[in-house]
Structure 1
Amino acid sequence: MGPVRAAVLSDPAPVTGARVAEALRTSGRLLGTTGALEAVDALTADLRGLGPLHKLAASEQVTDILVNGPGEVWTDGEDGLVRSPVAFGSDAEVRALASRLIAAGGRRLDESCPCADVQLDGYRVHAVLPPVSSGGTLLSIRIRRPRVFSLAELLADGPWWVEYVEAIVRRRLNFLVSGATGSGKTTLLSAMLGLAGSRERLVLVEDAGELNPAHPHVVALQTRHSNVEGAGTVDLGELVRQALRMRPDRLVVGECRGAEVADFLAAMNTGHAGAGGTIHANSAGAVPARLAAMGALAGLSREAVVLQAGSALDLVIHLERGPAGRRVQEIALLRPDGAGSLEAVTALVEDRDAVGFGPGWPALAARLFPGGPAARTSRP
C-alpha cells in the first residue's frame, strides 16, 4: 500500500475517506469490494487515526492502549491488562505514529523534546522516545468514551452506596475521589457531577480534559503547554483564577498531582460549595500525607496545608479495583486532628468480610441527613 499512501500524502488537501478510496482505485489494484473497503479503513487509520491500534480503540471494553515496543502492545479495560496480538513492523513505525499524533496536538516529538503529552479528539496521548526510553518508543493512549455511566451502574455491586454518594452531591459537600490509576476516579466524579441541579453552572478545570458529566450547563477549561517557541503556556493556577470569574456554582479542579495543590485548595476555599476533584492515593488514610507532600512541592508548610485542606475539604471517597471490578471501598471525613496534622476518619467502609460504619459516621450522617431517619449510627 506504499504507493497509495504516497499518492494521498502528495496532495496537501485534507485526508478523507473519499480521497483514499480514489487513490486506491487509480492505483490499479484489484481487491474486490470487501478488500477495497478494508484497505480504505486501514489506510485512513494509518493516515488520520491510530494506525494498527485503530481496531483496539474501537472496542468499548478498552480504556487504555499501551505500546512498549513494536512487538509488545497491551490493552487495559474491564479484564485488566491484556497483551494484544497487534504488532508494528519496526520501532520506526511506532515512532512515526507517535510523532504524527503528538504533532496533531500542536506539540513536537524529537531528540530535543523526547517526551510529550497531548489531548486529541477522544484520546489522550503520551509518548517517550529513546534514549529516555531504553527499550524503544513508548506510546500510552487513554481513550475518552462519550458514554457517561450512572451511579447505579458504577455501584451495581453495592447499591446501598448510592444513597450516600447522592447525598454528598445534594448537600454540596466538598470532596476528593481517591484511588490508584485505573480505579475509576474520573468516571465516578463525572457521574456525581451529573447529579448536580440542572440550574447549577459547573466550571471544570483540568490539566487534560477527561470529565464529561451528563449535565446541561458545563463549562470546561484545559491547560495548554507552550508551543515550539516556548510561549503560550496556560497553567492550572491561571485557569483557576479565570474560572472564579465565570460565576461557577460548582468548581471542579480535575486531578491534583503536584504543586498545583496550592491552586486546588485555594479554589476550594473560595466559598464555592459542592466542589470536587480526584487524587492518586493508596487509601483514604493516605490522602492527608499526599496533600502534605504535594503542598511541600508548592512551597506550603505542613501547617498551611492542614489549615487550607481542613477548611476546603469535607471528605474523601476512595475507590479500589480488584478481581470483582471497581468499587467504593471507603468514605472518610477529612479534618484537623488537633495536633497540627490532617486526618482521614473512616465513616463508611467496605471489604470482603464486612460492610460497616466507622467512627466518623455520626458526624457525616448529621451533615448528609440532618434530622432525618437515615442519620443512624449503625447499618440497618
Structure 2
Amino acid sequence: MNISTDLLERVRTTLAAHGAEPTAARVAAVLRADGHLFGDSTVLAVMEALRRDALGAGPLDGLLTEPGITDILVNGPNEVFIDRGSGLERISLPTGDEAAVRRLATRLAAAAGRRLDDATPYVDVRLPDGTRFHAVLSPIAAPGTCLSLRIPSRKIFTLDELVAAGSLPAGGAPLLRDLLLARVAFLISGGTGTGKTTLLNSLLSLADPDDRLVLVEDAGELHPDHPHVIRLEARPPNVEGAGEISLRDLVRQALRMRPDRLVVGEVRGAEVVDLLSALNTGHEGGCGTVHANSAADIPARLEALGALAGLTREAIHSQISSALQAVIHLTRGPTGVRRIAEIRAVTRTPTGQAVTIPAIEFTPTGPPRFHPGATLFTHHLAGAA
C-alpha cells in the first residue's frame, strides 16, 4: 500500500514531539487527531513505513530482500534504478524529498558506525546485513544525495549452475576445476559487476576440504561453501582518524595463520606486494580479484599498485612472473549478461617484463578455443599431478 509522504511526515513529527514509539494504537490516535479515519490496513502500513524509516532502509527496504537484485542506485529524490542482472532499469519508487533521502543516507551510515554530514559528505561502508553502501550528500552530488547499494549474493553458485546461466560454456567447467585443484595461483579480473566475487566463491567451494582458506577482504563478500574458512576484514579509521586496519596489515597477519590458500577478495592497493611475496614463498594456490579492463592489462595494473608500496618496476614484474600463473577475465555484455571471456597465462619476456598471453578463449556458443599459452597450464597441471 502506498502511503503519501506528507501523511508519514505528519505522523512522524507528532510521534517525535511526544517521544512516542510508533505502535499501532499511537499511530491510529495520531491519524484520528489529523482529522481522517483510516482502516486497520492503513494504520499497519503507516506503522511499517515508520519502522523501515527508523530501523530499516526506508522505501528501499523491500528491494534489499527481493531476489535477483544486485544493485540499488538512488540519484536524488524519487530517482531509483536497480539491476536485476540485465543492466540498470529505472523503477517508480517514491523516496520522499531531498531531506528524506539525506536522512536515510545518514542513518544507514550511522548503522555502520560512520558519520555522514556536511563535514564528511561521503561514506563507503558495509551494512550489518553485508550490503555495500556508498553515499555522497548534496550539493557535492547532483541532482541530490546519491546512494549506491551493492547487495551480496545470497547464493553460492556451482560451476554447473554458471554453465546453466550462460556465464560459462560447458567445456569450461572442467578446465577451471582442474586449474583450481592443481593449485595454480590466479587472479580473476574484470570490471565492476562482472561477477568476479561470484566466480571466486564458486571456485573456492571446490577446494580440498582439508585446505585451510584464509580470506582477506575490505568488505566481507566471500562466503565459499567450504568447511574450513577464516575471514579477516579491514577496518577504516574512525572519525578521529585512528583505528584503521588495512588490507596490507591483514595479509601479513594471514601469513602467520598457516593458510593452505591465501585469498585477497580484491587487490586494490599496496597489499599486492605482500600477496605476491606470499605466493613466491610456498603459498601455492593463492588467488584474488582485481579490477581491470582486460586480462592483458593485469601486469600494468599490478605495476601501478606495486608503485604504491614503493616497489620498482623491475621488482614488481619479477614478482608477478614468479608468483602468478593465470588470469581469468570476465566481461559483461550490452544485455547485462556476465560471462567468462578468457583465461590467460602469465609469463615473462626476455627483457624481464611480465605479460599475459592468450591460453583459453570462451565464446557464448561453441567449445573453448585453445591458444599457445595453454601449454603453460599443461605444465602446471603435470607438475601438480
- Normalised TM-score (structure 1): 0.89
| Structure 2: 5+ residue stretches without partners | 1-7
CA shift, 1:126, in A, is 0.7
**For 1:347, which of 348, 354, 359 is the aligned residue?**
359
Partner residue, 2:160: 152
RCO comparison, higher one (Cα < 8 Å, 6+): 2
CA shift, 1:97, in A, is 0.7
Partner residue, 1:138: 146
Kindly tell me: are residues 9 and 224 of structure 1, through their superposed partners in 2, closer, same or farther at Cα, counting changes over 3 Å? farther
CA contact (8 A) 2:318 2:353 kept: no
Matches within 5 A, 1:1-380: 1-2=8-9, 4-6=11-13, 20-21=23-24, 23-25=26-28, 27=30, 31-120=38-127, 121-156=129-164, 157=166, 158-322=169-333, 323=335, 325-351=337-363, 355-368=368-381
Per-residue CA deviations over 1:58-80 (Å, capped at 9, x if unaligned) read 22121011111113211122111
Per-residue CA deviations over 1:11-54 (Å, capped at 9, x if unaligned) read 999x8xxx644543554655434334433332222111111112
> What SS does structure 1 have at the residue aligned with 2:378?
helix
CA contact (8 A) 2:70 2:151 kept: yes
* CA distance in structure 2 between the aligned counterparts of 1:166 and 1:7, rounded to whole angstroms: 61
- With 309-318 and 361-370 compared, the bigger mean Cα shift is at 361-370
CA contact (8 A) 1:252 1:276 kept: yes
Per-residue CA deviations over 1:186-221 (Å, capped at 9, x if unaligned) read 110011111112222111101111111111221111
* CA distance in structure 2 between the aligned counterparts of 1:111 and 1:263, rounded to whole angstroms: 37
What amino acid maps onto 2:132 in structure 1?
A: R
CA contact (8 A) 1:175 1:313 kept: yes
CA contact (8 A) 1:201 1:217 kept: yes
Number of residue-to-residue matches in the alignment: 368
Kindly tell me: are residues 266 and 130 of structure 1, through their superposed partners in 2, closer, same or farther at Cα, counting changes over 3 Å? farther
CA contact (8 A) 1:8 1:20 kept: no
* CA distance in structure 2 between the aligned counterparts of 1:281 and 1:254, rounded to whole angstroms: 14
CA shift, 1:250, in A, is 1.1
Kindly tell me: are residues 266 and 91 of structure 1, through their superposed partners in 2, closer, same or farther at Cα, counting changes over 3 Å? farther
CA contact (8 A) 1:332 1:348 kept: yes
* CA distance in structure 2 between the aligned counterparts of 1:317 and 1:74, rounded to whole angstroms: 30
Identity of matched residues, %:
49
CA contact (8 A) 2:196 2:289 kept: yes
What amino acid maps onto 2:57 in structure 1?
A: L
* CA distance in structure 2 between the aligned counterparts of 1:2 and 1:68, rounded to whole angstroms: 21
> What SS does structure 1 have at the residue aligned with 2:115?
coil
Per-residue CA deviations over 1:286-338 (Å, capped at 9, x if unaligned) read 11111112222332211111111112211000111113721111011112122
> What SS does structure 2 have at the residue aligned with 1:103?
helix
* CA distance in structure 1 between the aligned counterparts of 2:253 and 2:14, rounded to whole angstroms: 46
Kindly tell me: are residues 3 and 333 of structure 1, through their superposed partners in 2, closer, same or farther at Cα, counting changes over 3 Å? same
* CA distance in structure 1 between the aligned counterparts of 2:344 and 2:324, rounded to whole angstroms: 11
What amino acid maps onto 1:94 in structure 2?
A: V
What amino acid maps onto 1:152 in structure 2?
A: D
CA shift, 1:285, in A, is 1.0
CA contact (8 A) 1:146 1:212 kept: no
> What SS does structure 1 have at the residue aligned with 2:266?
strand
Kindly tell me: are residues 212 and 20 of structure 1, through their superposed partners in 2, closer, same or farther at Cα, counting changes over 3 Å? farther
CA contact (8 A) 1:116 1:126 kept: yes
